[in-house]
Chain A
Amino acid sequence: KNQVEQSPQSLIILEGKNCTLQCNYTVSPFSNLRWYKQDTGRGPVSLTIMTFSENTKSNGRYTATLDADTKQSSLHITASQLSDSASYICVVSGGGANNLFFGTGTRLTVIP
């Protein structure tokens, strides 16, 4: 069964600290993996899109990694800011019919 699982469900960190969010998937065949940031009450915004051949991609303080062999991805946030408080959603494309499979997200809260 094609699934995307994210951990942890929620996370609280101090401003300025780093954190890492995890995404494990069973989607096969694999096409690409995306990370989105969703502020409360807003639509998701794309952070990165990674294909099979890419194992690291950065967008400012956000760095995503992909290990297609173990079917794992992580999103590392460096020097967190209060504005990083949001839900982070991992989405995997694939499954033969080129569908999108969504994780349920990690809720990150950055406190001063």
Chain B
Amino acid sequence: KAGVTQTPRYLIKTRGQQVTLSCSPISGHRSVSWYQQTPGQGLQFLFEYFSETQRNKGNFPGRFSGRQFSNSRSEMNVSTLELGDSALYLCASSAETPAVGELFFGEGSRLTVL
């Protein structure tokens, strides 16, 4: 069974640019959630999608957005990048809501903003 796939694994952007990250969940999982991980803050919840609908959202500015497609693949977008957006962005898939079901994480997308 293939795991969660995130692309790209590494990327470098400059301030003001935008970025799109992709996540393919485990086959059959309809929930995809996104997290930002920084050394100082640890893991922070961004949002969760289930069957193409955003079910839950963390406390991040509107520059962070996401969507989910009919095949459960998900993308997140960060517009007008700031230096503080440099982080490891993780997605996780689950057969149930993340708070109940087991989370399977991808390897992450490492974003560096210069």
- For window 67-114 of chain B, which residues contact chain A by CB distance below 8 Å? 90, 92, 97-100, 102-108, 110
Q: Do A43 and B99 have beta carbons less than 8 Å apart?
A: no
Q: Do A43 and B42 have beta carbons less than 8 Å apart?
A: no
Judged by a CB distance under 8 angstroms, whether A1 is at the interface is no
**B contact residues around A103 at 8 Å (CB):** 42
**B contact residues around A89 at 8 Å (CB):** 42-43
**A contact residues around B102 at 8 Å (CB):** 46, 49
Q: Do A31 and B99 have beta carbons less than 8 Å apart?
A: yes
**A contact residues around B97 at 8 Å (CB):** 98
Judged by a CB distance under 8 angstroms, whether B14 is at the interface is no
- B40-58 interface mask toward A, CB cutoff 8 Å, 1 = contact, 0 = none? 0111110000000000100
Judged by a CB distance under 8 angstroms, whether A79 is at the interface is no
Judged by a CB distance under 8 angstroms, whether B26 is at the interface is no
Q: Do B43 and A42 have beta carbons less than 8 Å apart?
A: no
Q: Do A44 and B105 have beta carbons less than 8 Å apart?
A: yes
Number of interface residues of A (CB under 8 A): 23
Q: Do B99 and A100 have beta carbons less than 8 Å apart?
A: yes
Interface size of B as a range: 20 to 34
Q: Do A42 and B99 have beta carbons less than 8 Å apart?
A: no
| Residue ID in chain A nearest B101 by CB atoms | A49
In the assembled complex, the CB of A36 is this many whole angstroms from the nearest CB of chain B, namely 8
- A40-64 interface mask toward B, CB cutoff 8 Å, 1 = contact, 0 = none? 0111111001000000000000000
In the assembled complex, the CB of B23 is this many whole angstroms from the nearest CB of chain A, namely 11
- Extra 17 A-B pairs, beta carbons < 8 Å, given A43-B4, A104-B42: A36-B105, A41-B107, A42-B107, A43-B92, A43-B105, A43-B106, A44-B43, A44-B105, A49-B102, A91-B43, A93-B98, A97-B56, A98-B99, A100-B45, A100-B99, A102-B42, A102-B44
A-B contacts, 26 of them at CB < 8 A, read A31-B100, A34-B103, A41-B108, A41-B110, A42-B108, A43-B90, A43-B105, A43-B106, A43-B107, A44-B103, A45-B105, A46-B102, A46-B104, A93-B98, A94-B99, A97-B56, A98-B97, A98-B99, A98-B100, A99-B56, A100-B99, A102-B42, A102-B43, A102-B45, A104-B41, A105-B42
